[in-house]
Each structure stands twice: as structure tokens, then as C-alpha cells.
């Protein structure tokens, strides 16, 4: 493995005062220490900004950008990506947690295989951080067609090497912007390589944007039809597969 490559951690943040300090600490606890954490605080109205300013003052690897008018998660991600100094991008939502060896193991995996896109299994936790006894398994590598049928890639598990996959930009969707991003990479012919070991704890929150399953499903349908420009019946086929797999994933 090349000596301590820089990993740029992409973290959008909006009103996360309850969780963001723990999320940042999970990055500071990484066994791979050569990272920068690019946090874009998108018009937070709670105590998030003060918490992040304090954390950034403690660790120069934490780089904070504050947006005063609400721009949305896609724009926040894109602002962070534009600032990235590393060619490895790792995505982390502001309420999720990385296991301490996450970056080290994922870098080793990608460099050993010479690949540009990887993701891992992840554990589910509740709002208080307690394990829910459920792991979403990254059981197989995902091609473009595979992912259209099963959007199992957890955003906070993803790492990409832009030297291999090329520039990354996040399309403007409210809750499926990550799915659209992975599809943009996969349709170039890349494959998302699965790491079976859970490396992330994904927090289930009742009031999160992704918890509104009807809205999230509509947004994914919009991605299929508008972003991917799939014909109606082809989109319906993939959407039916997605719905089946989404239900199975939660059982």
C-alpha cells in the first residue's frame, strides 16, 4: 500500500448538534491518520456551528465551511468535493459512525485490487447509538444494472479513487443524490466492489429525510426517469426490483 495516502472525507451537515461530535470523533479515531474532513455546514439553526468550530479548533485536519442560506445536501457535498486535496474521497453523513479501522481496511482493499470504487456492509443503530441487531450485507460487487435493481450501497461506506473513476459531482436530488452519484460512476463501466465486513454504523432517525420512504422512493423514481432517462417500463422493472430488495433489506 502506498505510504499514507490522503483521504478527503466528505460530510454535509444540517442541524446535527445531537450527533456530529460523535461522528467527527469516529474519524479522529481512525487507525489511518492521514485524512482531511471537509464539513460543509448548510445553514444550521441549532448549535451545530458552535460545536463544529470547537472541533475544528482542536484538529487542523477538520476543515469547516459554513453556508448561511440553505443549499441542500447535494450542493453541500459538491462544495466539499471541490475543496478535496486527496484523490481518495470517502463519504460520511453527519449522524453516522465509522468503525476505527474503516479507512485503513478500505484503502488496503482498494489498493490491493487496483480498483476505484468500494463500499462495505454496515450495522444499523438507533438514535441513541445502540445496535439494532441488524447488518445490511454488502454481499456482492455491483455493476450499473445490479445497482439499478438494488440500491444497497450505503453512502457512509463508500470510498472512490478519482484517479481511476474520474471527477465526482453530486446531482441535485433531495434524498437520492447519492444513488444518482453512484450510477454516474457505474455507467462509465466501473464496478462497486463489496467489502463484506461492516465498517460503518448507520443511524436510523425518525425525522431524517431518508426516513420518509414515500418521498425517497419518488426521488429514486425521478432519478431513473429524469437522470438515467430510462424508458417507462424499463424504469418500472428496475423500480420493482428496488422495492422488493428494499423491503427484504429492512426485514
Please give the average per-residue pLDDT across 158-170, as a whole number.
98
Ranges of H-type helices in the chain: 20-28, 48-58, 73-83, 102-113, 144-149, 162-165, 177-186, 213-222, 232-250
Q: Which neighbouring-strand residues pair with 89?
A: 8, 160
1 pLDDT band (50/70/90 cuts)?
Answer: very low
Tell me which residue has cell 451537515: 13
**Does residue 241 surpass a pLDDT of 70?**
yes
Q: What is the pLDDT of residues 111-148, one digit of tens each?
A: 999 999 999 999 999 999 999 999 999 989 999 999 99
CA angle at 166 for the pair 231 and 170, rounded to the nearest 5°? 55
Q: How far apart are alpha carbons 137 and 232 in whole angstroms?
A: 30
- For residue 19, what is the DSSP state? T
Q: What percent of the chain has pLDDT over 70?
A: 96
Long-range (24+ apart) CB contacts under 8 A made by 53-62 are: 55/21, 55/24, 59/28, 61/35, 61/36, 61/37, 62/24, 62/36, 62/37
**Greatest Cα pair distance in the chain:** 53
pTM: 0.93
Type and span of the H or E element at 212: none
Q: What is the pLDDT of residues 223-240, one digit of tens each?
A: 999 999 999 999 999 999
For 155-199, the DSSP string reads: GGG-EEEHHHH------S-SS-HHHHHHHHHHTTT--BEEEEEEE
**Is the backbone of residue 43 left (phi > 0), alpha (psi -120 to 50) or beta?**
left
The per-residue pLDDT for 159 is 98
Q: What percent of the chain has pLDDT over 90?
A: 84
Q: Decide if domain 7-205 falls under CATH 3.90.550.10.
A: yes
Least confident of 144-153, 154-163, 178-187, 236-245: 236-245
Q: What is the pLDDT of residues 57-94, one digit of tens each?
A: 999 999 999 999 888 999 999 999 999 999 999 999 99
Amino acid at each position: 500500500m502506498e505510504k499514507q495516502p490522503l483521504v478527503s472525507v466528505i460530510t454535509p451537515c444540517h442541524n446535527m448538534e445531537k450527533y456530529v461530535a460523535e461522528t467527527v470523533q469516529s474519524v479522529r479515531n481512525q487507525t489511518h491518520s492521514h485524512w482531511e474532513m471537509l464539513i460543509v455546514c448548510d445553514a444550521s439553526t441549532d448549535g451545530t456551528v458552535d460545536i463544529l468550530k470547537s472541533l475544528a479548533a482542536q484538529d487542523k485536519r477538520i476543515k469547516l465551511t459554513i453556508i448561511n442560506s440553505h443549499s441542500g445536501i447535494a450542493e453541500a457535498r459538491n462544495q466539499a468535493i471541490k475543496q478535496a486535496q486527496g484523490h481518495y474521497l470517502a463519504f460520511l453523513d453527519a449522524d453516522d459512525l465509522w468503525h476505527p479501522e474503516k479507512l485503513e481496511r478500505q484503502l488496503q482493499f482498494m489498493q490491493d485490487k487496483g480498483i476505484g470504487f468500494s463500499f462495505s456492509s454496515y450495522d444499523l443503530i438507533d438514535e441513541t447509538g445502540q445496535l439494532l441487531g441488524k447488518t445490511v450485507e454488502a454481499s456482492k460487487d455491483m455493476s450499473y444494472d445490479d445497482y439499478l435493481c438494488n440500491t444497497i450501497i450505503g453512502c457512509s461506506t463508500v470510498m472512490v479513487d478519482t484517479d481511476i473513476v474520474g471527477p465526482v459531482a453530486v446531482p441535485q436530488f433531495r434524498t437520492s443524490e447519492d444513488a444518482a452519484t453512484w450510477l454516474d460512476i457505474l455507467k462509465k463501466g466501473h464496478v462497486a466492489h463489496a467489502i463484506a465486513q461492516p465498517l460503518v454504523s448507520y443511524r436510523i432517525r425518525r425525522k431524517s429525510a431518508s426516513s420518509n420512504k414515500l418521498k425517497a422512493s419518488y426521488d429514486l423514481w425521478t432519478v431513473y426517469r429524469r437522470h438515467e432517462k430510462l424508458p417507462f417500463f424499463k424504469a418500472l422493472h428496475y423500480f420493482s426490483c428496488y422495492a422488493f430488495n428494499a423491503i427484504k433489506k429492512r426485514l
